[in-house]
Structure 1
């Protein structure tokens, strides 16, 4: 049953597929004070993270921020130096990976080349002592779930990269794990297939109601599929929140710079308001009075006439993106600013325009 505290499913369950029919409501996951050291180098600094049953949480950050190490600790593939991992309140920090009841999908497909798709999918069930007939039935159900039931008799080399990753996902789901872990599973795929499989993973996760942790460095992926996103930097969680919260109310310059696209514009602050180009912009968070830099989203920069407060600028490039254009300009102050505008506002290289900023709250940092 869906409650106010649990995510709604995209589609109802049916009794036709036993995998869907028998799946539970998800598992509570808690990471408390996770520290990881490799020799004298500390890569995780006391990370805390609570994940609700059935929630889809992404760990987002640049390479080297610690997100994959944190996922491996959650999976039991690495031991933490300090801290605990709990499932439904039970400490599993020293429980082996094969006893944690998790499903994991890696960047590489890791399929057995000599086994057919059905046998690859059923492999985990057979290792658990499930009979051949039942394992085949459940594997077929899992393949139907990912849209590959008709390819059960093929070998991995006869599949595309996207199809192979779907098989890897079916193999992870077929054992009905308590938690699903995804370690950059889409990074080896081309752009169109990535979007298709990304959306498919989210649809399946909602149908199963399975608690899921997804590691990615791609902000678009994280924003598109997550209930919440934990933005990581240098072994710490900078901010965790819904995609909307992170995009509209970043807690730090690091989050503002990493999530979404922003231009950094010099301004002057009185502590609560930033003044720039004859405009006054409210600040998301107070800063010390004086010279600051504000983070401005491209959709909040617009082309205006000389009657509106703003600044003159010269077009450096303009890119057609289907339903809108994204244009880079150099202001008369020498700053590079990106704006997003309707395709009907056609401007080209070296055009002189005037730009302004919508009066929305912005994040500021003291100028260095």
Structure 2
């Protein structure tokens, strides 16, 4: 297992980045699109020039070319070789490093078995689904036995059930192979589902790096597109489904963390709160609201003050022509996008 440290790392996109990732940690760097997440991974991999120092286990790697850095990099674009089979794609890295054909094949088959893709060995990338391509790309990144695994938005472009499957594989992978993993994403679901330690990046600058608890506590200040509500459990419906009282707003929410008994924080991304001019939805977590004020805060995210059941709330929402002071709208907060975290 390997520690990763960036000291005052800068280039055209990054500005004095300082990060420390403990050995064997699953570190998640989260930030909006265009924040510099991909650039940071490419910088660690040695694919982009930089100033400053990058250290693995306390030793600088700045003078090492990409192929000598012992890094496994899974780009967002996946970039599988179309003329090679799945097995050949996975064997490519070990062969470049000097392994024999039989040795490289043994590595590929072990990884294919672990990731459940042995049946795809003779297929070509064009015949694979999005989720299958992600697994092959992951196997290829692991095949070189990297000290550090870099994952760039690994869940982009795949269905929800495939996201869940690959997320579970990543958790198993971090335990089985004891790799230090750095994953970048803009998605709070992915971040909270996988991360042990967290960083927040915006405009090429690190705004936060540290523990999960501190990240949860300050998340709404760090990420403009995340809503955070202070709540208490008002009623337990089942073992993992509860009503949360969020300053008078009653939300039905999932409760995966059984350690939560009373107080909690509910997190939901701005783009997962739906707004309509008419009552387009029925059921739980649907509210009639009157808009008091609207203020742009970042990109297409606006801060909206609304009155619901005679109480005033501030919500972060995706910009919409419906969001004008004086308008009455209907708001839907889907249960599946709610995260309940300890405070």
Give TM-score, length-normalised by structure 2: 0.69
Mark the runs of 5 or more structure 1 residues left unpaired by the alignment: 1-25, 38-42, 264-297, 305-314, 340-348, 352-361, 363-368
In the other structure, the counterpart of 2:145 is: 176
2:101 and 2:36 mapped to 1: Cα distance?
Answer: 40
Query: Given the alignment, which residue of 135, 138, 141 partners 1:166?
Result: 135
Query: Given the alignment, which residue of 224, 229, 242 partners 1:257?
Result: 224
| Secondary structure in 2 matching 1:140 | helix
Query: Given the alignment, which residue of 57, 61, 75 partners 2:27?
Result: 57
- CA displacement at 1:164 relative to structure 2: 1.1
Residue pairs, 1:1-368, within 5 angstroms: 26-37=1-12, 43-80=13-50, 82-247=51-216, 249-250=217-218, 254-255=221-222, 257-258=224-225, 260-262=226-228, 300-303=246-249, 325=285, 327=287, 329-330=289-290, 335-336=305-306, 337=313
1:232 and 1:316 mapped to 2: Cα distance?
Answer: 37
Deviations 1:264-291 (A, max 9, x none): xxxxxxxxxxxxxxxxxxxxxxxxxxxx
Deviations 1:192-221 (A, max 9, x none): 322322232222122211001111111211
Task: Classify 1:228/1:299 alpha carbon distance in 2 versus 1 (closer, same or farther; 3 Å).
Answer: farther
- CA displacement at 1:106 relative to structure 2: 1.2
Deviations 1:156-196 (A, max 9, x none): 22221101110110111112110000111221223332232
**What is the alpha-carbon root mean square deviation over aligned residues?**
3.1
Task: Classify 1:46/1:137 alpha carbon distance in 2 versus 1 (closer, same or farther; 3 Å).
Answer: same
Task: Classify 1:152/1:332 alpha carbon distance in 2 versus 1 (closer, same or farther; 3 Å).
Answer: closer
- CA displacement at 1:229 relative to structure 2: 1.4
1:120 and 1:350 mapped to 2: Cα distance?
Answer: 50
| Secondary structure in 1 matching 2:28 | strand
Task: Classify 1:34/1:350 alpha carbon distance in 2 versus 1 (closer, same or farther; 3 Å).
Answer: closer
Q: Are the equivalent residues in 1 in contact too, given 2:32–2:186 (CA < 8 A)?
A: yes
Q: Are the equivalent residues in 2 in contact too, given 1:107–1:184 (CA < 8 A)?
A: yes
Mark the runs of 5 or more structure 2 residues left unpaired by the alignment: 230-243, 251-276, 294-303, 307-312, 316-328, 332-342
Q: Are the equivalent residues in 2 in contact too, given 1:161–1:189 (CA < 8 A)?
A: yes
| Secondary structure in 1 matching 2:227 | coil
Deviations 1:316-347 (A, max 9, x none): 868679xx6254633789932379xxxxxxxx
Q: Are the equivalent residues in 2 in contact too, given 1:318–1:326 (CA < 8 A)?
A: no
- CA displacement at 1:75 relative to structure 2: 0.7
Larger Rg belongs to: 1
Give TM-score, length-normalised by structure 1: 0.65
In the other structure, the counterpart of 2:310 is: none
Q: Name the structure where strand makes up a greater proportion of residues.
A: 2
- CA displacement at 1:98 relative to structure 2: 0.5
